[in-house]
Amino acid sequence: MAKVLGKEVLRSDLIALKVEAPEIAKKAKAGQFVVVRADEVGERIPLSLARISPEDGSLGLVVQTIGVTSSKLGAMNVGDDIADIAGPMGHATPIKNYGRVALLGGGFGAAPMYPIGKALKEAGNTVTSIIGARSADLLVYEKELAEFSDQVLVSTDDGSKGFKGLVTDVLKQEIEANGVDWVMAIGPAIMMKFVSLATKPYGIKTFVSLNPIMVDGTGMCGACRVSVGGKTMFGCTDGPDFDGHLVDWDLLMTRQRTYLTEEKVAMEKYSCSCVPSAK
Amino acid sequence: MAEIKIPEFTKEEIKEIRKTRTAMPEQDAKARGRNFEEVTIGFTAEDALREANRCLACKKRDCVSGCPVEVPIPEFIALIKEGDFIGAAKKIKEKNPVPAVCGRVCPQESQCESKCALGKKNEPVAIGRMERFVADYERVNGGGSSNGQVKKPKPSGFKVAVVGTGPAGLVVAADLAKLGHEVTMFEALHKAGGVLVYGIPEFRLPKAIVQSEVDGIKALGVNIKVDSVVGKLYTIDELLGDFDAVFIGSGAGLPMFLNIPGENLNGVYSANEFLTRTNLMKAYLFPEYDTPIKKGGHVAVVGGGNVAMDSARTALRLGAEAVYLVYRRSMEELPARKEEVHHAIEEGIDFRLLTNPVEIVGEDGWVRGIKCVKMELGEPDESGRRRPVTIEGSEYVIEVDTVVMSIGTGSNPIIPNSTPDLEINRRGYIVADESGATSKPGVFAGGDIVTGSATVILAAGAGRKAANSIHEYLMTKVKA
């Protein structure tokens, strides 16, 4: 059981929770994740760590409320209990001085970039954070990333803020203009795929944090099979970080869609049960 | 509690009943193939009394030597004959703390019952069915699992960490707690019980029974910490800082695949995933429970062990129209318990024996079929079983939308990787001697993480041995 200590609505569909988990907070490293079960009938889902605070024994989680579990978590308030939180799972992101690093966070992916970017900065890197959204009002985490980044570059599809275009365009400009030694991308698979495609011609090492479907998160079920460099690996115990140039993105995206039909059924049932009854 | 009437059989009657085993009441095969309730209903008191009278009470007691934990079988049967069912359960528990589980899932036909003297001419005594009966009787009429009913022992002052809450860990915890040691168990998942909870299906081992075993162990004062992945949240070395000894019973949980084309298609599951979704996460109750599972129309299960039988029968209960069991050897080599095979056939599982998958065929990322070749049995291999050989040109496709790979499990690397000075063998399992001692002082191990995947009773037996050695180890610490 883990108590919700704080809650912040970053965007209508992005909720940040501060959760009491002192033992995990003591052990977790940037890049690792936890497996969360919202309540007694809940599913186990992996969530990246957006904050690791051993000093007050808390973890930060950011959920995008698209499925039942993320919606249940998003609906929680300070003082509520999350049924289960287990971790830290997976390997930490390898932190060292790479030189000039570019970090791309797509949607909810900007949040777990926070502890990674911070650690990279502390390791002596020059950190460029790049975030993007359809429009300015949908951008999140700009302020937070600015805390440690040497620069935060922004792109919007409609040009309402920063560069008009995609984060990959901004990345290419940065590579051309100042040079980049190491790239990391966290976000939807399609975004990580295009970041990896963008850096490949330059031969820049590109890390991605994969988010396949998982059950236990400890290597027991194999649901999270991903293909990297032609080899089947487990996202939970071999990852979550992999070389983006070697990932079979189409396989990842196909496997992520396994339960699309069931997710709709579950979401409909959840939405119905959530309609507040008339008083 | 109903009064127990002790039957008085004449010599002739006894002679007659010794010929055939008392039948196990079961759910009708057709009905049970569509529900998750327990397949076998269990003996009545009359059944148990009849069966107990079949025992010859012979001097050789070969049945006891056939049992990995040497349950005093003739003695517990004698108590049943007297109508002392609770006494019989307690007698079993002197050697096996989890009879309600073992009575259901042990392969008795290759253990105790295979050695039964009566079995030479007639059917052997149904030891497992009686074991289950007295354990269930005690649970209902004797105030729960007797593991929790001992007087609180004097605290020894020693603390022991038990990693894993499966059969091995549960036995270690119970035994050490009864000796006055303070035991904390660590479970990676959110529910205690290990394979008894995530692996073995409800219809073969009701989870309420596992829960009562777990509750019994808690009642002994054992603390169970769920959501605690040892190797991640704490290393073994950190545990050694807080505890006087550590037992590792983390099981063999790493699923294996065949490494054939198409294995990453949507609709291909490891048996571990398929069973964990269904049992632990209760996907069969989706959407009441949030975890989904593909309720395949046509399902192929690859493998021939108990887990393969469990997977096939689970698929049927989830609503599959057809379930194929694909196994590369013949019925004779099938490693599953006879009873499970018999039940699976009764329920309508389509056995495709001497059949080996070579590819999983897909379309748009989803499984559409499993391409197999037919096999024939050649010369015996190193395991003594006749080696299956491919029949050239025998390829054919079974049209399925779901494939469950049940070809065994390996060692999970999380604990070995985070414990550099723990000796492991080349297959990744922890090296432990007969007493459960590992290469690391104060660290003991037992069950599947040492032997590779085996049975509940072997894990329980290893747990008991390890508990004894841990106790001895702690006692030498007192002297030091």
Q: Each residue of B357-411: pLDDT tens digit?
A: 999 999 999 999 999 999 999 888 887 888 899 999 999 999 999 999 999 999 9
Domain-embedded: residue A206: yes
Percent share of chain B, pLDDT over 90 = 84
Least CB-CB distance to A266: which of B266, B292, B365?
B292
Least CB-CB distance to A219: which of B254, B277, B291?
B254
Query: How far apart are the C-alpha atoms of A201 and A186, rounded to whole Å?
Result: 20
pLDDT above 90: residue A76: yes
Cα of B94 to nearest chain A Cα, Å: 33
> Is there a binding annotation on residue A272?
no
Task: Based on the fold, state whether residues A117 and A234 are members of the same structural domain.
Answer: yes
What is the DSSP track for B426-441? Answer: TTSPBP--TT-B-SST
- The first and second tokens of residue A4, run together, are 């919700």
Q: What is the structure's pLDDT at A278?
A: 43
Q: What is the CATH number of the domain that holds A212?
A: 3.40.50.80
Considering only CA atoms, give the Rg of chain B: 23
Query: How far apart are the C-alpha atoms of A162 and A60, rounded to whole Å?
Result: 28
Task: Based on the fold, state whether residues A245 and A112 are members of the same structural domain.
Answer: yes
Is B289 close to A41, i.e. CB distance below 8 A? yes
Q: What is the structure's pLDDT at B41?
A: 93
pLDDT above 80: residue B111: yes
Q: What ipTM was estimated for this complex?
A: 0.94
> Is there a binding annotation on residue A236?
yes
Domain-embedded: residue A265: no
B233 touching A (Cβ < 8 Å): yes
**In this structure, what is the dihedral angle of CA atoms B232, B234, B235, B241, given to the nearest 10 degrees?**
170
Q: What is the CATH number of the domain that holds A32?
A: 2.40.30.10
Domain that holds residue A25: 2-89
Identify whether the C-beta of residue A197 lies closer than 8 Å to the C-beta of residue A247.
Answer: no
Task: Based on the fold, state whether residues A192 and A213 are members of the same structural domain.
Answer: yes
Q: What is the structure's pLDDT at A279?
A: 38
Query: How far apart are the C-alpha atoms of B369 and B349, rounded to whole Å?
Result: 17
Question: Across residues A21-40, what is the average pLDDT?
Answer: 97
| pLDDT band of A272, cuts 50, 70, 90 | confident
Task: Based on the fold, state whether residues A69 and A190 are members of the same structural domain.
Answer: no
Quick one: which of B378, B301, B296 has its CA closest to B340?
A: B301
A255: chain B residues, CB-CB within 8 Å: 264, 266, 365
Q: Which residues contact B67 (CB under 8 A, 6 or more apart)?
A: B73, B95, B111, B112, B457
Cα of B411 to nearest chain A Cα, Å: 10
Task: Based on the fold, state whether residues A161 and A228 are members of the same structural domain.
Answer: yes
Query: How far apart are the C-alpha atoms of B287 and A273, rounded to whole Å?
Result: 12
Is B273 close to A86, i.e. CB distance below 8 A? no
Q: What is the structure's pLDDT at B296?
A: 77
Task: Based on the fold, state whether residues A105 and A210 are members of the same structural domain.
Answer: yes
Q: What is the structure's pLDDT at A35?
A: 98
Domain-embedded: residue A279: no
Task: Based on the fold, state whether residues A219 and A111 are members of the same structural domain.
Answer: yes
pLDDT above 70: residue B346: yes
Least CB-CB distance to B414: which of A87, A218, A255?
A218
> Is there a binding annotation on residue A221?
yes
pLDDT digits over B428-449, tens only? 999 999 999 999 999 999 999 9
State how many domains chain A has: 2
The angle formed by the CA atoms of residues B167, B453 and B282, to the nearest 5 degrees, is 60
Least CB-CB distance to A227: which of B264, B294, B413?
B264
| pLDDT band of A146, cuts 50, 70, 90 | very high
pLDDT digits over B275-308, tens only? 999 999 999 999 999 999 998 799 999 999 999 9
